[in-house]
Amino acid sequence: MNPVAAFPYVYFLGIGGIGMSALARWFQANGHQVSGYDKTSTPLTEALSAEGIAVHYEDAVENIPVEVRNKKEQTLVVLTPAIPANHQEWAWLRENGYDIRKRSQVLGLLTAGQHTIAVAGTHGKTTTSSMVAHLLHHAGVPCAAFLGGIAVNLGSNLLLPPKTEGDQSTNVPVVVEADEYDRSFLTLFPDVAIVTSTDADHLDIYGDKDALVESFRKFVSQIKPGGLLLLNHTADPSLAEAVPAGVRVVRYGLEAAQAADLYATNITAHGHQFRFNLHGPFGEVADLELAVPGYHNVENMLAASCVAQLEGVQADKLKAAVAAYKGVKRRFEFIVTAGRKVYVDDYAHHPREIEAFLRSLRALYPEQRLRVVFQPHLFTRTRDFAPGFAESLSLADEVVMLDIYPARELPIAGVTSDMILSQVTAPRKTLQTKEQVLATAKTDTDFDVLATVGAGDIDQLVPHLRTILTERWNGAEA
């Protein structure tokens, strides 16, 4: 019996989070009565409301649905780490003895006993997990997926397997994004794991990179016997030593010199499209065509394709599925294109992610003037990686910096966006508000390529910039 079947009511604290909303949709689709709180209304929470999920935005106990308040034993409460300690509803639910689980714990319950494909890494995991889910789904392999972004092909962050008659416990593959924040991924015991990167991040949780790597070592030690680990060539090599006996380790990279197990050859760019040949342990596939740009995405697709091969997807179906992949919202997402004029939005919020994104933009548009609008995410991340952010952003011709998006954190004295901006070496750099960014976009024509970058609420600018630039760049496609 599914361990969550005993809870007809499920209440979410932080229902609008990308991972939380996927769980909410799963419970809704499986017959549970779902409701929740979030701090602000967003397109995602509005979509949940449209799907029949009750969402409110004021922290007040009386806003908790009556059924939840009256039926404690039949209610599961799902909590995101972003909920502050002084949250009134959380305090009331704790004091009244509700069963409260973190999102990661619930994900662990849902995947227990399932054939689990877990994608971990300090960056690249959302794109790579969406690729795995898409390849399997497109090739006709029944599967489920809990994703950390809105997959364009699916139009959702959740993929459900087709309904079957009779036994509902069919062990279809479940693709999950394994989040290292707060050691969440340690609730997972995968059959197949991908580790895309182990760069230092979340040092507010881990303290130093060694502790982060140790957490990844623990994660891969939980791969089931007979399983598979796909390990990016940039990841800490000690992870290969931490897997249980009998787990196969496949290292992957763009070139055989980086990782002789799984690599690409004949990589060529044609506009936004990349073509390459795959060489791996489950066979070679020639002339793969990926419509999502970036060498880092070729690398991500290598790992995803290898998993698809492992799950039985043959070369012809794999080629068709790769060609059909459209990416993830806010990952190298083209918002407006008009000849030499381009506007791209990306979720990058770590120095390595920003470097990969901007180098790919430079490769696509080598002669165009590049303006980057960046919103730092978290005070701790800004403090810990300011020089790295400055170095990667300096690849642009112009850097526009927004104030730090605090997310779950309180301000830290002396930590501001200027910690980064003061070290940026781009020819032109400014600190602006969102309103100033929009005003500048209406009047300043001194750029060809615009990129908005960050993981906070910078995405609120996207529809406004789309309208402004479409009107200015007459004939553009929005």
CA 220 to the chain's CA centroid: 20
CB atoms near residue 40 (< 10 Å): 8
Residue 388 is labelled as binding a ligand: no
Residue 42 is labelled as binding a ligand: no
> DSSP assignment of 273-334, as one string?
EEEEEEEETTEEEEEEEE-S--HHHHHHHHHHHHHHHHTT--HHHHHHHHHH---BTTSSEE
State the DSSP code for 7: -
Structure tokens at 241: 């030593």
Geometric angle at alpha carbon 419, from 413 and 423, rounded to 5°: 165
Instruction: Answer yes or no: are the C-beta atoms of 124 and 297 closer than 8 Å.
Output: no
Instruction: Answer yes or no: are the C-beta atoms of 354 and 374 closer than 8 Å.
Output: yes
Instruction: Answer yes or no: are the C-beta atoms of 4 and 112 closer than 8 Å.
Output: no
- Alpha helix locations (H) across 350-461? 351-364, 379-393, 418-421, 434-443
Residue 124 is labelled as binding a ligand: yes
In the sheet that holds 341-346, the strands lie side by side as 333-338, 341-346, 449-453, 370-374, 398-401, 428-431
Residue 294 is labelled as binding a ligand: no
Residue 126 is labelled as binding a ligand: yes
> DSSP assignment of 81-117, as one string?
TTS-TT-HHHHHHHHTT-EEEEHHHHHHHHHTTSEEE
Structure tokens at 14: 């932080």
- State the binding site for ATP: 121-127
- State the binding site: 121-127
